[in-house]
Amino acid sequence: MKKVTVFLLLLSIGLTSLAQNRYVDSLTNWLNLHPIKDTMRVMTTHRLSYRLSEINTQRAWQYAKETEIVAKELGFDKGIALANVNYAILETGEGNFKNSADYYMKAIAISERIKYTRGLSISYNNIGENYLKLKQYDKAIEYTNKARDLNHSINDIRGEAINYEQIGSIQYEKKNYEKAIANWTLGFDLAKSAGEPNLISLYYINFGKYYLVTNNIKKAISSLSIADSIAKSRSELLTQIQCSKAFSASYDKLNQHSIAIQYLNEGLKLSKELKNKTEECDLYNLISLQYERMRMPDSSIFFLRKHKEISDVILNDKNFAHLTFIQTQYETKLIDQENAELRSIQKKQTKKLSEKNLLLIASAIALLLAFVSVLLIYNSFRHKKRNLLLEEQQKLSEYNQQLAEMEVKSLRSQMNPHFLFNSLNSIRNFIIKNESQLASDYLANFASLMRKILDASQQSNVSLEEEIEMLKLYVGLEQMRFSNKFAYNIQVDESLDFANINIPTMVIQPFIENAIWHGLLAKESNDGVLNIQFKEIANNQDEILCIITDNGIGRKMSESMKSRLKKHTSKGINITLERLKRLAKITIENPIEIVDLYDEKGNATGTKVILHLPVL
């Protein structure tokens, strides 16, 4: 019975798809037959731009521009709002999140003024989608729920189906898989009622992703095949890209990495055809990951560089997209406040003019009241001005904090040039000595470390487990490069659930680098030992301790050697100190303690660093 239901659904979709294959052509033909510039032409060019945004972006831009031009000539505010929505969708596809935010806020301002509920719901939903791409899930849920409530108020079934699909996707990204499938199931019924094939294909992709995480790979591939068939029948390039990525994940789980790469290459070709930089960037990263799992470091690094070239541009806009949203909203509210004050003053002035013909006593009273009113307005203005200044100072403080975070991210995302050079030189020496296996192992570990550092630089926190894996790779490479001149040991308290504890990214590695370069490598003997401990703090679940101990030459001897790297690292330590203070949930005077170790005779025996790491 279930198979018959699926067959009937596919038959229905197939017939609808056949009709909607001609949808774009029918709209184009209508425009050719109706050259008159009226509101019907505006709505038709808007619909064409919306449909072509996932098929042919060049034509979509042309129709979006025509929508705006004709709507402005007609004074058709609804059309102007929809043109801004079209612009925003296309800017998102090209990775220009800042421009996308600007257009959405313009569309919202116009829609609120003319009470156009549909324009508001589209804008709110798509802003939620942008926040989803930025991994700001709380904001994504907030805006998508606002869109869903508006669509429900006007009984827009198709709009609600779109909203539930996005809410499920947000929950999926948050790994709340049961909440995701609940929203998708509810939205799927609405999508079938609306008779929207492209939306139905998105739901089949989502079902495939759910089957994949629940280890039902056969059902996942079957669901994805249905989605791919619908998308190809309607030339929906963006949906085909999503199918390719989901197919790749399925075959990755089957350890069939070559097939996974084939699907990713298909998606990459389509993303270039669609000129969708966001998807192209993501696909380069996924291809790099597949080559890494096949232990092909050269290919992995090649595609990783391709990913980095695009992400350097897109991620920069992403970092500032949220600030753009807030700033635009603030400026809009400020303008509304100023207009309200001007209207209030104008009303009082009109009232004063009408009182000129009153008796003298009435005029005196009116003047007195006017004086009091002006005084109250002046005091109110001063109060509002003071509040605005305080708000600006607070926003400036928050902005400076975000800049500091970006400075840390920039500082950590760039590997030490000396480390890169020396690592490549070590690989060269292994090859010259004909130690091919050592060269291969070193290169594979080096590629894995580069990937982890790149991923960590784009996140504000990381699990303790991931941090330990990255530290093992880094220390292992240094140990191999210096012919095991030192040994190392990493200990984690048994009580720590290190897989589920998140700490700030890229905090520990600089201190370990100091211990190796300025403590252990300067020893004449080869008995250097580096100990790294992660310990629980009694009655304190908000932070853990990381203790780094080396038996090197000590700080005084290292300073006497005038190490340039020491001076450079001190700046990083100062930034790290301020960062840990800002992230700490409880006030701590000094989250970084550095202790010089001595023996009974007063001779330096090494250095201990104690880090108080906030649990995020």
Whether residue 559 is contained in a domain is answered as yes
Q: Is the pLDDT of residue 4 over 50?
A: no
What local confidence, expressed as pLDDT, does residue 43 receive?
92
Q: Do residues 536 and 551 both lie within one domain?
A: yes
Residue 226 pLDDT: 93
The pLDDT of residue 327 is above 50: no
CB 587 within 8 A of CB 518: no
Distance CA 192, CA 187 (A): 9
Q: Is the pLDDT of residue 44 over 90?
A: yes
Are residues 427 and 396 part of one domain?
Answer: no
With respect to residue 37, please indicate whether it lies within any of the assigned structural domains. yes
Name the CA radius of gyration of the chain, rounded. 31
- 266 in a domain, yes or no? no
Q: Note whether 78 and 166 are same-domain residues.
A: yes
**Partners of 486 in beta bridges:** 528
Mean pLDDT of 242-271: 92
Q: Do 335 and 462 fall within a single domain?
A: no
pLDDT of residue 175: 93
Domain stop point among 165, 199, 229 = 229
- What is the residue range of 488's domain? 414-614
DSSP 411-478: HHHSPPHHHHHHHHHHHHHHHHTT-HHHHHHHHHHHHHHHHHHHHHHT-SEEEHHHHHHHHHHHHHHH
Residue 447 domain-assigned (yes or no)? yes
Q: How many CA atoms are closer than 13 Å to the CA of 433, on its beta-carbon side?
A: 11
Structure-token pair, residue 562: 């005038």
pLDDT confidence band for 335 (50 / 70 / 90): low
Q: Looking at the structure, do residues 118 and 6 belong to the same domain, yes or no?
A: yes
Domain presence at residue 16: yes
Q: What is d(CA 614, CA 616) in angstroms, rounded to the nearest whole number?
A: 6
- For 276-294, how does the pLDDT look when each residue is reduced to its tens digit (9 = 90+)? 888 888 899 999 999 999 9
pLDDT band at 176 (very low <50, low <70, confident <90, very high): very high
383 vs 376, 378, 379, 386, 395, CA distance in Å?
10, 9, 6, 5, 18
Residue 416's pLDDT is what? 55
pLDDT, residue 1, reads 36
Token pair for residue 197?
């094939």
Same domain, 201 and 347: no
Which has more confidence, 574 or 250?
Answer: 250
Share of the chain above pLDDT 90, in %: 40
End residue of a domain, out of 383, 410, 437: 410
DSSP 518: I
pLDDT of residue 164: 96
Q: What is the pLDDT of residue 117?
A: 92
Is the pLDDT score of 195 beyond 60?
yes
pLDDT at 578 over 60: yes
Query: What is the identity of the amino acid at 392?
Result: E
Asked which of 229, 252, 285 is the last residue of a domain, the reply is 229
More confident residue, 489 or 559: 489
User: One-letter amino acid identity for 86?
Assistant: N
Are 422 and 465 in the same domain?
A: yes
Q: CA 440, 443, 448, 451: dihedral to nearest 10 degrees?
A: -150
Distance CA 428, CA 141 (A): 51
Q: What is the CATH number of the domain that holds 193?
A: 1.25.40.10
**Does the structure show a pLDDT above 70 at 395?**
no
Which pLDDT band holds residue 417 (cuts at 50, 70, 90)?
Answer: low
Compute the average pLDDT of residues 475-489: 89
pLDDT at position 246 over 60: yes
Residue 487 falls inside a structural domain: yes
Position 571 scores a pLDDT of: 61
Half-sphere exposure of 478 (CA within 13 A, CB side): 22
Nearest alpha-carbon partner for 332 in 607, 105, 6: 105
Domain-embedded: residue 290: no
Instruction: With a cut of 70, say whether residue 409 has pLDDT above it.
Output: no
When mean pLDDT is compared across 396-410, 426-440, 475-489, the lowest value belongs to: 396-410
Least confident of 48-52, 347-351, 459-463: 347-351
Over residues 433-452, mean pLDDT: 83
**What is the per-residue pLDDT for 279?**
87
Whether residues 401 and 427 fall in one domain: no
Please report, for the domain that includes residue 605, its CATH number.
3.30.565.10
Mean pLDDT of the 64-77 span: 94
Count of domains for the chain: 3
Domain assignment present for residue 48? The answer is yes
One domain, residues 393 and 449: no
Are 553 and 420 in a shared domain?
A: yes
Are 378 and 523 in a shared domain? no
For residues 64 and 58, what is the distance between their CA atoms, to the nearest angstrom?
10
Residue, of 374 and 132, whose pLDDT is higher: 132
Are 391 and 332 in the same domain?
yes
